[in-house]
Structure 1
């Protein structure tokens, strides 16, 4: 069930919202249980076969969590051993379902290269959302071991893991952000302002997906799939195709995150911010503080810091940065293209930290032209890395890079090799609108300043009401425009990760 589908918008979510508050008025605990069951139904709609794995993961990790919590009756050595076992179990399950095919394919390729008999490959289906709910629970287990978890309700834990707005494609949640909200009586009372704001944010996220990400995705797919099938891209085709994908993945994923935040806010639960206008960044360090914030935070707290962070000298810091991003790339998918994407970003961060330490030497002031140059270089580096992230293979990525360098020519009849409407006005209009939103407008989270009321109009009720009505009508128009685009299969890109 997609967020951008008739069943979800007109059946599932209204029933869940009504049922949640009706039950919550009498019993908050029962309402939490109802929301957990609704979340399991939402997941089961995707794949009933994957549901037992999710339930088993929840039960096993809850059991581990109870026993990892510090207690006078438990020795630290015992708890540390148990933590290692719990991490091995979680990472082992993730490795089997997500990386077994990748490993066997590489073994098979190695055997073929050596002239040895190949093995019969067993294709293992990747359960949707396994990376997100596994990482969420790993963070929970580590925090239990450190004594940071005080919530013991099984219902709230099930809801924390399965909560449907985030379950399929994030953000990666932290128990400290969510469990107290599930335990708060205010969560189970209707709040008209939260519902109005939540619906507004949802509509804007839906518009990002349907009106910008999907149209640009059609053009990006034509270029990337064409290259995979053997068509060599010209200079213009390569650059515009990569730019289209650069905007597509941002509006697709940030659109999903906005929709998740909006849906959650309707039921009184605030999800963490996952994007803060990342394409405005003027360096790679800033980019990773703005892009997929929940994953960046997880990698920092549970991988970079345990590796030693920056506590063991600059050389070790650079190694830790590179390893963290390398594993972050592998987390996104079982392919060498994702590994290279992570390696590129690890290299970018190493160069950025080296520049700050050796050239800038702690200086914080930057001229306007320095900021512009920094933004251009950062955006260019991000685009270059997106090529291997999206490419179907390393050979396809190499051909696209050659095209970007003009090695496949730059014909006057640009894009003719694909016979696609790159030159149609709507393509460039969508590109322009996407760039304006990315580079000139504030992040969606700032909508809390003007929905349902406009900041700065306090004391002027007529203008405030007029602005609220205008905003509401604008959201209704956007919503209708998005619904008119329903009908084709349009999953979110991060579902595959």
Structure 2
């Protein structure tokens, strides 16, 4: 079930919230938690009921291992077993086909490698359960039952694409679910954030998908694309992914708020980042936190020689790149970002730091533009279906053409709802002018306007954590008044008009 679907927004969610509030009045904590667990399992099973058993199996094994870790003196052995179990499960479903296929091709073995369907959210709930086992081994977990643990693993607002939460962030909140506090406030703010996230996904991200998807499809067929086409398609995909993931992250926080729960911020306007390390602190912040705490620090972190630090940084970013998918494009994506982070560290230590460049405005603007350019270029690898397609796109960036799109690309773009509307408003403007105007406008939104986190910051609807965001050029705040009610109602109406063509969130694929 998708957050941006009619069945979720108009049937599932209202029913879950209504029953939750009714049970909350009775004050029975186990009934309230049980209802949220059943709702979350139903939400997950809607995609494929067979993989619900896998989720329950994984949760049962990890909960049992957690009990053994808490009670046994052989904690290291049980922790190792738990990590191997989780990584083994992830490796089989996510990477086995890739490795076997490459071995089969390289050695010409003639194997019949079967396609393995990737279970929804396995990357997220696997990492989340690894954090639970490690923290249990350290003695950081409090007493809890299987019901609380199931809710921790399966809570539907953050189950599919994060944020990746820690037990310490959620278990104390779960214990207060039977206490009805600030219900009207939670619903008002939760619905407002939900609408903003839905608008980002349904209206903005899906509109840019109408430009990015045909560009990359034509590139896969080695169509005659030129600079104008490739730049538009690459920028459109960068903006599609940005607003798609930002929209999901907002909706997760808004949905949790409806139940009086807080989630950590997962998205800090990363296109304002001034270097690649900055970018990863702002993009998928909880994944970066996991990689820092459970990959980088165990490797030695910064408590080692400079050369070893750089190796640790490179390997951590490589793991982050490969985590996104099984394919040579993701291998190269991880290598690129590993190298970028290492280069940035060397530059910071040897050049920008000693010369005092970081506090100069011109340097800040230039570094932000360079970081954005680097991210957009590597996202070609991220999106391309093969290394050959990515190579073709990179080569065509330097193939100047007239200020007109490829005819096939033009035909695909002009079928999108937003372009049709823009043509109605400005019939004399070409497709190229419209597309590049929309790209520029969206970039200005990313760079200048406050994020949803900044809009609602004063209302304390997220878990306290280090603020990785950059200040917006224009600042304003959401308020519970008539203006915002009308504005969000308009956004909701526009979203409803676009719900007929439901599309998955991009991070569902990872």
Normalising by structure 1, report the TM-score: 0.92
More deviation, 295-304/435-444: 435-444
- Structure 2 partner of 1:136: 128
- Given the superposition, is the C-alpha separation of residues 107 and 22 from structure 1 closer, same or farther in structure 2, using an over 3 Å criterion? same
C-alpha distance in structure 2 between counterparts of 1:210 and 1:139, whole Å: 33
- Given the superposition, is the C-alpha separation of residues 165 and 122 from structure 1 closer, same or farther in structure 2, using an over 3 Å criterion? same
- Structure 2 partner of 1:24: 24
Give the drift of 1:46.
0.7
> What 5-or-longer segments of structure 2 have no aligned partner?
415-429, 461-476
- Structure 2 partner of 1:468: 481
- Structure 2 partner of 1:67: 68
- Given the superposition, is the C-alpha separation of residues 476 and 416 from structure 1 closer, same or farther in structure 2, using an over 3 Å criterion? same
- Structure 2 partner of 1:482: 495
Whether the 8 Å contact between 1:217 and 1:245 is mirrored in structure 2 is yes
More deviation, 417-426/209-218: 417-426
C-alpha distance in structure 1 between counterparts of 2:95 and 2:457, whole Å: 44
Residue 439 (structure 1) aligned to one of 442, 447, 451? 447
- Structure 2 partner of 1:249: 241
- Given the superposition, is the C-alpha separation of residues 488 and 89 from structure 1 closer, same or farther in structure 2, using an over 3 Å criterion? same
- Given the superposition, is the C-alpha separation of residues 430 and 451 from structure 1 closer, same or farther in structure 2, using an over 3 Å criterion? farther
Residue 404 (structure 2) aligned to one of 410, 413, 438? 413
- Given the superposition, is the C-alpha separation of residues 250 and 151 from structure 1 closer, same or farther in structure 2, using an over 3 Å criterion? farther
C-alpha distance in structure 2 between counterparts of 1:333 and 1:242, whole Å: 19
Residue 359 (structure 2) aligned to one of 352, 366, 378? 366
- Please list the CA deviations of residues 126-180 of structure 1 after superposition, one character each: whole Å capped at 9, or x if unmatched: 1111000101001100000011111322111100100001111111111111111
- Please list the CA deviations of residues 88-125 of structure 1 after superposition, one character each: whole Å capped at 9, or x if unmatched: 1111111111111101110121023xxxx411111111
Whether the 8 Å contact between 2:177 and 2:260 is mirrored in structure 1 is no
Compute the RMSD of aligned alpha carbons: 2.0
C-alpha distance in structure 2 between counterparts of 1:264 and 1:3, whole Å: 13
Whether the 8 Å contact between 1:197 and 1:265 is mirrored in structure 2 is yes
- Corresponding residue SS for 1:351: helix
Whether the 8 Å contact between 2:5 and 2:502 is mirrored in structure 1 is no
C-alpha distance in structure 1 between counterparts of 2:276 and 2:177, whole Å: 41
Give the drift of 1:492.
0.4
> What 5-or-longer segments of structure 1 have no aligned partner?
453-463
* 1:194 counterpart = 2:207: no
Number of paired residues?
Answer: 475
- Given the superposition, is the C-alpha separation of residues 451 and 79 from structure 1 closer, same or farther in structure 2, using an over 3 Å criterion? closer
- Structure 1 partner of 2:456: 448
- Structure 1 partner of 2:77: 81
Give the drift of 1:410.
2.2
- Structure 2 partner of 1:430: 438
C-alpha distance in structure 2 between counterparts of 1:102 and 1:397, whole Å: 18
- Structure 1 partner of 2:9: 9
Give the drift of 1:38.
0.3
Whether the 8 Å contact between 2:248 and 2:505 is mirrored in structure 1 is yes
Written as runs of structure 1 = structure 2, the 5 A alignment for 1:89-488 is 89-112=85-108, 117-185=109-177, 188-189=180-181, 191-361=183-353, 363=356, 365-404=358-397, 406=398, 408-416=399-407, 418-420=409-411, 421=413, 423-424=430-431, 426-448=434-456, 468-488=481-501
- Given the superposition, is the C-alpha separation of residues 210 and 465 from structure 1 closer, same or farther in structure 2, using an over 3 Å criterion? closer
Give the drift of 1:17.
0.5
- Given the superposition, is the C-alpha separation of residues 433 and 197 from structure 1 closer, same or farther in structure 2, using an over 3 Å criterion? farther
- Corresponding residue SS for 2:316: helix
C-alpha distance in structure 2 between counterparts of 1:169 and 1:218, whole Å: 23
C-alpha distance in structure 2 between counterparts of 1:436 and 1:310, whole Å: 36
Normalising by structure 2, report the TM-score: 0.90
* 1:43 counterpart = 2:44: yes
Whether the 8 Å contact between 1:232 and 1:399 is mirrored in structure 2 is no
Give the drift of 1:190.
5.3
- Given the superposition, is the C-alpha separation of residues 306 and 364 from structure 1 closer, same or farther in structure 2, using an over 3 Å criterion? farther
